[in-house]
Structure 1
Amino acid sequence: MTTFSIVLPCYNAETTLLQTLESLRGQTFSNWEAICVDDGSTDGTRKLIQAASIVDARIRLVRNPGKGPSAARNFGAFSSTGAIIAFCDADDIWMPTKLAELVKTFVDPAVDGAYGQIGFFKHTPSDATVFSTVPSGDLSIDLLLGENPVCTMSNLALRRGAFKATGGFDTSMVHNEDLEWLIRLVGGSARVIGVASLHTMYRTSVGGLSTDLSAMSAGRIRAIETAARFGMSPSARSHAIHHRYLARRALRLGETRTLALRHAIAGLAHSPSGFFSPLRRGALTLLGSLGALFLPRTTCQSLFS
């Protein structure tokens, strides 16, 4: 039986897809299939996948009968055969030992899902200087409503039954659909744990939907509504951490000079201790938000890239 089914949504990804597929083929654990779900690409994405499937039969191309990354992930996951479903985006890169480490993690039958640490890079993984934090303990709704430690779907693997129990991603959402789904996953009693090891390299980009702060806000409202169905609401601490995240995002994007500071003030109003946890991140965010009032935007973007 296939151990891992890797679900890989693809849309006009010809410039990054080969590097992503090579990172899968470079895994030290070899019992996997990669389901590349084309979402209507108009570039050479399909041809690249077809060529890769000739070289490696574990890679296969399917067409998304719906539209959008959520529909693509649902279709790939529900049509997969592996005991464990792992998601990967077409511009991210996996570390060679990721699947081997996950196999050891899933030996524990009480673990339903797992994620690792992420490195953030622009051009090549070697230029990464920022890495995510993997908190101790199980993933919780309150953690998710703060600064989601999973960060990206490329960083998550879970048992097939746990995915099916969620019913899949909400295809009506255009942002934070992964957060809303994770809340349903954890709210449904799935146990998801962090692995303190670098698993995924995330390619950052100034453009794209992930940088749309208004869309992020709308998606968060939906996520909070979902959390409420499980009797949960964001704590003051998670509100503070989320506003800190938005302040840093505003600095990276070079948004209006006051936007980052408004988010920083909102975070401090909710919970000073949450905003300054950890102290270095909170302090740098506040200083950057103040500096954005008079520093060149390019300088702020560089400091918080």
Structure 2
Amino acid sequence: MTDHPIDMSVHPDITAYFDPETNTISYVVRDPGSTSCAIIDSVMDIDYAAGRITYDHADAMIAEIEGKGLQLEWIIETHVHADHLSAAPYIQQRLGGKIGVGEKIMEIQETFGKIFNEGTEFQRDGSQFDRLFTDGDTYSVGDMQCFVIYTPGHTPACMTHVMGDAAFVGDTLFMPDGGSARADFPGGDAGVLYDSIQKVLSLPDKMRLFMCHDYGPNGRDIQWETTVAEEKAHNIHVGGGKTREEFIKFRTERDKTLAMPKLIIPSLQVNMRAGEVPTDKDGKPMLKVPLNGL
């Protein structure tokens, strides 16, 4: 259980934006007591086959923030995503705000800096971000006090962000009928993921949980909000008192059957740079495709 006091009376106003191309849910989170807001896990659109990036998804969030006269204070990444590209720099250029991620981003940068054969000009110290969060760190969105819980396992840099009665869990958990995220990426660990999930499930039963992804299992409509109580009771991977050993066995066997995300190569190159697209020696935006590297 977290040592931070949790004020369940603070009920942030949350607008979700679903991206059907990557099954990602981004959020605009407004402090109920002011005009301040945050964005969680933004998406930059990419037509990978054509090598073209656009910003329709981000523009929709920007339009809401500008239309309601809100002040963007934070652009949060719950982790370094392997399945979509962040639009954080584009949003920051338009609206301001600080870009924040977990401090273990440095491990991601070190690992994938080698895989993508990045030179010494690629800084591996997290300096591309405005704030590197550590476990238990606090920050504010307007008058709303927020804090972070270190929840690794899917990646080494995963963090859960708690804002009032809402927690944004990244890929640590899916909806109850979706289970949990894979743990076989570099630095992932099924046992560590189980432990992180228990941290999330130790939050108050009525805490609202917001997912980063949903795939509509068994053909149901896309969903992204549930509660701690629902996850504890019904999550198909960890609910109902499933043990750590049961989870590790299931998760390890399941992960062996999964293909790599189709956007993992562009996503990692961009997201480990806080959403900036890498360039070649002439300054032109350019992505690499490492062969047999992942």
Task: Give the structure with the higher percent helix.
Answer: 1
TM-score norm. by structure 2 comes to 0.29
Task: Give the structure with the higher percent strand.
Answer: 2
- Max Rg structure: 1
Larger RCO, structure (CA 8 Å, separation 6 or more): 2
TM-score norm. by structure 1 comes to 0.29
